[in-house]
Amino acid sequence: MNTRCDNPLVIDTFKTLNGLVSFGTIYRDTFIPISNISIDDRGHLFYLDNANQQHSVSSLIMRLKGLQTARWLNHLYFIDSFGNVIKFKNHLSERHNLSFT
């Protein structure tokens, strides 16, 4: 069975890691942090801008990378406690044996 971003394990894992790690995306081989990030119960990922306005992380990724569409799950990374940059989707696959399309 293929996993989507609204899967409870995806949401719970994000909530568990949030605050412990720095989330962001990779652009031109550089980690770009995304601060003030949160997830809702439907698996939509948001961030707050400098004016405390809520925006979609997918929209931010599309703007940064010049994409027409983007699923946040395909572009979200975090830095672990050892300084390693890890793709969130790969972490979910390895840690929870989830498969994605």
The dihedral over CA atoms of 5, 7, 4, 40, expressed in degrees to the nearest 10, equals -20
**Cα–Cα separations (whole angstroms), residue 41 to 27, 50, 83:** 28, 24, 29
Chain center to CA of 47: 10
pLDDT tens digits in sequence order for the chain, 101 residues long: 567 888 899 999 999 999 899 999 999 999 999 999 999 999 999 999 999 999 999 999 999 999 999 999 999 999 999 999 999 999 999 998 888 86
Domain spans of the chain?
8-96
Tokens linked to 48: 């707050």
